[in-house]
A and B are shown apart, each in its own frame.
Chain A
Amino acid sequence: GESVGLHLPTLSVQEGDNSIINCAYSNSASDYFIWYKQESGKGPQFIIDIRSNMDKRQGQRVTVLLNKTVKHLSLQIAATQPGDSAVYFCAENPGGTSYGKLTFGQGTILTVHP
């Protein structure tokens, strides 16, 4: 079946470095992508989203890049801080008749060392 998956399960960085978290998706019909942050014991927290008619979107310290040719999504975090340590999930909305259902990837654990 089609799924969303992540290349790297863990990522360790030093405080102040830039972080890049990657995600591959297989459903070429997906038209909406979201990055969520999940801290231990909490629900997924929205970070940034992007629609399939865009290839880049910037937020505060975060940038999402979408490459539809290779079905790849990335989250860039600038000047990573210890508070950014969490599990990061990409999620996709498959479009079509899927209504709002989100398909989540496995998650990447980001650890930021002071």
Chain B
Amino acid sequence: EPEVTQTPSHQVTQMGQEVILRCVPISNHLYFYWYRQILGQKVEFLVSFYNNEISEKSEIFDDQFSVERPDGSNFTLKIRSTKLEDSAMYFCASQNRGFRETQYFGPGTRLLVL
């Protein structure tokens, strides 16, 4: 069964450093998302991406965040200058035909900012 994959599974970085989190969505999916989950809290929407542009973003997704689909298979989330409060689990999700269809989530990347 096709699934969303994410790398790395864990990432430790120093405050102020740049990180890139990578996702490979399900191959025929057209809509892509990043969510995050701070430990013990609910999953929060960050950004949606369709047709090579951002469809919607949350207040969390400030100028330090960017997304890219560089090669037609990968979908990346970049944090330019990490802060302590960026420590969280980051989930990528993809979706097939439209915004009211099932979103399938990857296993997540656990980011720890020291």
Contact = CB atoms under 8 A, between A and B. Distances in A.
What does DSSP make chain B's interface, helix, strand, loop or mixed? strand
Contacts of A51: 100
Interface residues of B, number: 25
Interface string A67-103: 0000000000000000000000101010000111111
Interface size class of chain A, counting residues whose CB lies under 8 Å from the partner chain: 20 to 34
Contacts of A15: none
Given A43-B91, A44-B91, A104 B44 contact: yes
Contacts of A44: 43, 91, 105
A99 B45 CA distance: 12
Interface string B51-66: 0000110100000000
Contacts of A36: 105
A34 B100 contact: no
B100 A101 contact: no
A50 B4 CA distance: 22
A112 B70 CA distance: 44
A102 B42 contact: no
Contacts of B55: 99-100
Given A42-B108, A103-B45, A34 B99 contact: no
A93 B100 contact: yes
Contacts of A32: 100
A45 B106 CA distance: 9
B55 to A, nearest CB: 4
B76 interface: no
B95 interface: yes
B48 interface: yes
